[in-house]
Amino acid sequence: MTKELKQIRVRIAPSPTGYLHIGTARSALFNYLFAKKNKGKFILRIEDTDLERSDKKFEKDIIDNLKWLGIEWDEFYRQSERIETYAKYLEKLLNEGEAYRCFCPQKQIDGGVPQIYSGKCRDLSDEEIKKNLAEGKKSIIRFKSPIKKVAFKDLIRGKVEFDSSLIGDFSIAKDITTPLYNFAVVIDDFEMEISHVIRGEDHLSNTPKQILLEEALNFPQPQFGHLPLILGPDRSKLSKRHGATSVTEYRKEGYLPEAIINFMAFLGWNPGGEKEIYSMEELIEDFSLDKVQKGGAIFNIQRLNYLNGVYIRQKSIEELAELCRLYLPKADKEDLEKAVSLYQDRLKKLSEIAELTDFLFKDVLEYDKELLKWKDMTDGEMKKVLDNLNKILCDISEKEWKKENLEKILMPEAERMEDRGTLLWPLRVALTGKKASAGPFEVAEALGKKRTLKRIQNAKLEI
């Protein structure tokens, strides 16, 4: 008896054999958006029947990162807790002659280069099967695949057709308590009343197998939609050689969840128009599978950096300071807020804050004295500039020690010189020890009068 599907119900079904991949997270997001747009349910199903490769630490990573991204599920399942359910359906297929035990030596049961099984064990008699089992011969369970055309309408790719003769009798379980991927997926999708299967196009070859199983079990067929793959800049499938691939890696580098969500949404989907910054609520409102492209989506790290910078600049100084605490664990609240206020407009990712602002947390800076020189300055000219800076800054009171005042006093002095870099460059290097940094007035304010003067004195000692 089939179930009538009345509500939109979608799922994301990762295997806990590695950290949450950016591609899996993108699939989760598209399913989530589709469910919320259509007032449906979004289900998280951990596919952990491969006990040798599954690891609880990876399950935790998947759960933690989906929550961090704001992709919340309505229902949660683990395949490892559903073995009796799979066994019931395996027995049904065996009893009805839709599946059979195969005793042929198995170098590979699932995965690797696909090979069409010869069908040697397809018509073994009950006596032969019992005899082989009694002798302890190892077996797997194969589905008796009918020869036919398997066609379906993909929500993204349109009509897709496969010839089942090129599939053969595929394996569906290692034994009655160890189902393999294609079989367990079909049972779960039926039992959980999944209406739409939205996943990466790397699963396209699994779809005809799953449809054949659904037909054999008299299950309703969900609607399928296969998302374009995420590609590296060279248009090959995204992999570690292109850089980070897991959500955890991007999280550690200091990318914000809002930026990753916004970025992932545009990997293979485009609503049209000029708008490029989207909140989750706005994505739900505008999302449509009709706008998902068929071609591969290029992972552009510069684009992610740009979006992350946009969201960083939307944070208050207090919020940003807390987010940066991980990278400056020894800094107190006041120093953290000074650091982020200096670099909020320049940050592309939070992890940059430590290297950019290390000068704020050092008593003595180390740098080559040549860095102090602006163009062709001599040591004598450099010393004269530093003496002049020291004299001017000494006369500014603590109360007036603000960026605006410092700029108001020092800029006319710099403009009087042939090149204002002659004054401003040595000042900035003396205060930061860096070739590139925030402006000298902002830095001086953050350091305070006492530390600013001390660094100018130290710079003179370098000459």
pLDDT, position 233: 85
Count other C-beta atoms under 10 Å from residue 149's C-beta.
10
* 134 contacts 193 by C-beta, under 8 angstroms: no
pLDDT digits (tens, 9 = 90+) for 281-298: 999 999 999 999 999 999
DSSP-based three-state secondary structure for 105: coil
Nearest to 321 by CA among 357, 292, 282: 357
Q: Which tokens go with 168?
A: 């053969």
**Mean pLDDT over each residue of the chain, to the nearest integer:** 93
Check if 240 is active-site: yes
Nearest to 186 by CA among 174, 176, 194: 194
pLDDT digits (tens, 9 = 90+) for 256-281: 999 999 999 999 999 988 899 999 99
pLDDT digits (tens, 9 = 90+) for 308-340: 999 999 999 999 999 999 999 999 999 999 999
Residue-wise burial string across 171-196, b where 16 or more C-beta atoms lie within 10 A, e elsewhere = bbbbeeebbbbbbbbbbbbbebbbbb
Domains of the chain, CATH where assigned: 362-462 (1.10.10.350)
pLDDT digits (tens, 9 = 90+) for 159-203: 999 999 999 999 999 999 999 999 999 999 999 999 999 999 999
pLDDT digits (tens, 9 = 90+) for 397-419: 999 999 999 999 999 999 999 89
* 108 contacts 77 by C-beta, under 8 angstroms: no
Q: Of these residues, 39, 240, 391, 399, which one is catalytic?
A: 240
